Amino acid sequence: MAAHANGTGFGVIAQALWLTKKLDGDADVFLAIIDAKKTKDFSAFVLADGTVPQNWGQFRKVIMDGKKGNLGIVMANRDNNGNGKDKEKNKDDKQNNGRGNDK
């Protein structure tokens, strides 16, 4: 939440977490990715061929090894497989048939 409080959007945070995971990184790697995105300076990430990514898109593409992925590894909720549905919801909650709390 500190990254968001400092002006980073949740989409970038999710992508940074995703890339951190792909790099087997830790909190320091995550913060370096966030900083690189903000400053557009990717010099902290020297590639295997000795070059440095020049922009966010190139950085993401290299980290992902040219493969497309999804944010499921970051966004999935282990309790409900990330489908957004509350599996433990009490069926009695639906008994008012849209009439509010005054049944």
3-state SS track over 11-51: HHHHHHHHHHHHCCCCHHHHHHHHHHHHHCCCCCCCCCCCC
Q: Which of 59, 68, 57 is nearest to 20 (CA)?
A: 59
pTM, two decimal places? 0.62
Confidence tier at 101 by pLDDT (50, 70, 90): low
Amino acid at 56: W
In this predicted structure, what is the pLDDT of residue 70? 58
Whether residue 92 lies inside any domain: the answer is: no
User: Is residue 84 over pLDDT 80?
Assistant: no
Greater confidence, 14 or 97? 14
Q: The domain containing residue 27 runs over which residues?
A: 10-76
The 10s digit of each residue's pLDDT in 6-16 is 777 788 888 88
Q: Which of 55, 18, 14 is nearest to 38 (CA)?
A: 55
Whether residue 49 lies inside any domain: the answer is: yes
What is the residue whose two structure tokens read 């002006």?
7
Whether residue 81 lies inside any domain: the answer is: no
In this predicted structure, what is the pLDDT of residue 68? 61
Whether residue 93 lies inside any domain: the answer is: no
User: Is residue 4 over pLDDT 50?
Assistant: yes
